[in-house]
Amino acid sequence: MLGKGVIRMRRIGSLLAGEHKVNESTTKIEVKNPYNQELLALIYSSSIEDVENAIDNAHEVYQQTMRSLPAYERSKILRKAAILLEERSEEFARTISQEAGKPIVEARGEITRAVQVLQLASEEAKKLNGEQIVMDSAIGGEKQLGFTKRVPLGVVAAITPFNFPLNLALHKIAPAIAVGNTVVLKPAEKTPISSVLLHDLLLEAGLPAGAVNIINGYGIDLVKPLVTNPKVKKVSFTGSDKVGWHIKELAKEKPVTLELGSNAPNIIFSDANIEHAANAIAMGGFTFAGQACVSAQRVFVHKDVYEEFVSLLKEKLEQLKMGDTSDETTQLGPMITEDAAIRAENWIKEAVAEGATIRTGGTRDGSFLAPTIIENVNPSMNVVCMEVFAPMVAMIPFDDEKAVIEQANDTEFGLQAGVFTSDINRAFNIADQLEMGGVWINEVSVRRYDHFPYGGVKRSGIGKEGVRYAIEGMSDLKFIGVKLI
Ligand code: NAD
């Protein structure tokens, strides 16, 4: 158990067949706390040979153990892991807060969710039921029995981003274990520490060594040999759209799940509860400094309430406490790197040069970007059409329902949206018309619970996560028929 304060500097290599292996000769990558640049760990990158070993281990453990491990055993391991994680929640929360630069209160929220993902997976492991097929529905099907069985696929390649380093890794690992697969995980090189802690915790919970192997280093070096290896049967990626679609091409005919980015629309009608909507956007556009794939980005507000809404939102954002991520009262931390903050600042400057105006924020101090409201934008500005991934919202007034739906859909992305209105008919009609993987009514786009189907359309991805739905994507429905003779 580590202390309450700073985590000790670690050497992170590859986790192969349950063992930590450090290659002294490979590329080293520093892992720093984005808040104060403290050096937290040094990654000794995995080599191509390590990638192959990780896959071989996962393949062997799948063949020898995991595919035949009974459901009650898989369920028990996941349940024990949930208990251990809950016991160590503070250690994990501090680790995430430090490696990702996440305010400690938000990091604790990530642990609460991660515990639930393990609990849900533990429950789902026992519910992998198939169905009996009525065989004589088809001509010639008389005197036959047919049924389906959900079966594992084998080795799953899991590649994850920096922003929810523990929970997004678990969204792949926990369903994989629930159904009897094994995993090779490639965590984000900016935030690998929580995955290493998770690996050790899973072993302690009883997971066979080698059922989860971890390779560390840059994606550009490690992901191609990982996803193209014939022993890998499923690729599950969460990260940016550009990298995701590239990986889909590399993986060729393998089943692939892509959980990618967006520029989430939120639509506020004049009959909405404006105070509630302003609170929702103040949270949903700015939690973890706007670095969530479903962060509110394009905020469409009806002209009749536009001024009232923006004034209220500005007031709320100016009260957000920015600063030390270990402070219990901090609400807004830094962005993941100074480069990321500079990129966002440049997009704001470009928009302003083209006529946009800033209601609040727009300033940068190192990797901190002040919470920003930008107005008078047009659809071709990066702050509107690209994924901003920063503490910033673009305000767009509207007065016509049909036109605002068209504007909200006028994007390459389609992950989640929010609609705020007290008219239930309008709410459902709009939910049907929005080209999104999910739509919230009277809730902000960023809201996610770990059991509902989650995943985008268009450029935002393919397939679904959310424990039960991830299990479906990581398994096959096998038909078994019997002819009675
Ligand atoms: P990223 O795409 O840069 O990195 C994600 C993973 O891909 C990392 O492990 C990285 O090492 C690897 N990678 C990077 N470049 C690669 C390359 N050229 N080839 C192969 N692998 C490569 O994403 P990020 O900056 O860590 O995370 C932010 C992005 O993730 C945002 O776009 C965000 O919207 C998205 N995201 C999506 C979801 C979702 O569930 N839809 C959730 C969280 C984050």
Please say if the pLDDT value at position 4 is more than 50: no
| Residue with CA nearest ligand 1 atom 12 | 219
The set of residues, in sequence order, having a beta carbon less than 8 Å from that of 211 and lying 6+ positions away, is 58, 61, 62, 65, 66, 177, 182, 183, 202
374 alpha carbon to ligand 1 midpoint, in Å? 26
- Res. 2 pLDDT band, cuts 50 70 90: very low
Query: Based on the number of CB atoms within 10 Å of its own CB, is 424 exposed (0-12), middle (13-18) or buried (19 or more)?
Result: exposed
Gap between the Cα atoms of 296 and 266, Å rounded: 6
pLDDT in tens, 103-145: 999 999 999 999 999 999 999 999 999 999 999 999 999 999 9
Whole-number pLDDT of residue 27: 96
Output the ligand 1 site: residues, CB below 6 A: 159-163, 168, 186, 188-189, 218-220, 223, 238-240, 243, 247, 259-261, 293, 387, 389, 415, 461
Please check whether residue 334 is in contact with residue 289, taking contact to mean a CB–CB distance below 8 angstroms: yes
Whole-number pLDDT of residue 8: 58
Nearest ligand 1 atom, CA 455 = 41
Which architecture characterizes domain 265-450 according to CATH? Answer: 3-Layer(aba) Sandwich (3.40)
More confident residue, 467 or 10: 467
Best residue for ligand 1 mutational test, from 51, 293, 457 (most atoms within 8 Å of Cβ): 293
88 alpha carbon to ligand 1 midpoint, in Å? 27
Whole-number pLDDT of residue 5: 39
All structural domains of the chain with their residue ranges = 10-260+460-480, 265-450
Whole-number pLDDT of residue 51: 98
| Catalytic choice (293, 385, 387, 465) | 293
Sheet strands (E) in 260-366: 265-268, 298-302, 357-360, 364-365
86 is catalytic: no
pLDDT in tens, 313-362: 999 999 999 999 999 999 999 999 999 999 999 999 999 999 999 999 99
Provide mean pLDDT across the span 212-233.
Answer: 98
Nearest ligand 1 atom, CA 188 = 9
What spatial distance separates the first Cα and last Cα of the chain, rounded to whole Å? 63
Tokens 């529905």 sit on residue: 137
Torsion of CA 260, 263, 269, 274, to 10 degrees: 90
| Catalytic choice (259, 345, 387, 465) | 259
Could you tell me the two tokens for 285? 């556009």
CB atoms within 10 A of CB 320: 15
The length of the chain is: 485
The set of residues, in sequence order, having a beta carbon less than 8 Å from that of 254 and lying 6+ positions away, is 227, 232, 233, 234, 235
Gap between the Cα atoms of 359 and 373, Å rounded: 5
Best residue for ligand 1 mutational test, from 170, 223, 337 (most atoms within 8 Å of Cβ): 223
110 is catalytic: no
pLDDT in tens, 186-209: 999 999 999 999 999 999 999 999
Indicate the average pLDDT of the chain.
97
Whole-number pLDDT of residue 468: 98
CATH value of 10-260+460-480 in 3.40.50.80, 3.40.605.10, 3.30.565.10, 3.50.50.60: 3.40.605.10
User: Helix or strand or coil: residue 28?
Assistant: strand
Please say if the pLDDT value at position 3 is more than 50: no
Instruction: Find the farthest-apart pair of alpha carbons in the chain and give their distance in angstroms, rounded.
Output: 80
Whole-number pLDDT of residue 6: 42
Whole-number pLDDT of residue 1: 35
Sheet strands (E) in 403-453: 416-420, 438-441
What burial letters (b/e) apply to 130-146, b meaning 16+ CB within 10 Å?
Answer: eeebebeeeeeeeeeeb
| Residue with CA nearest ligand 1 atom 7 | 219
Please say if the pLDDT value at position 295 is more than 80: yes
Sheet strands (E) in 220-324: 232-238, 256-259, 265-268, 298-302
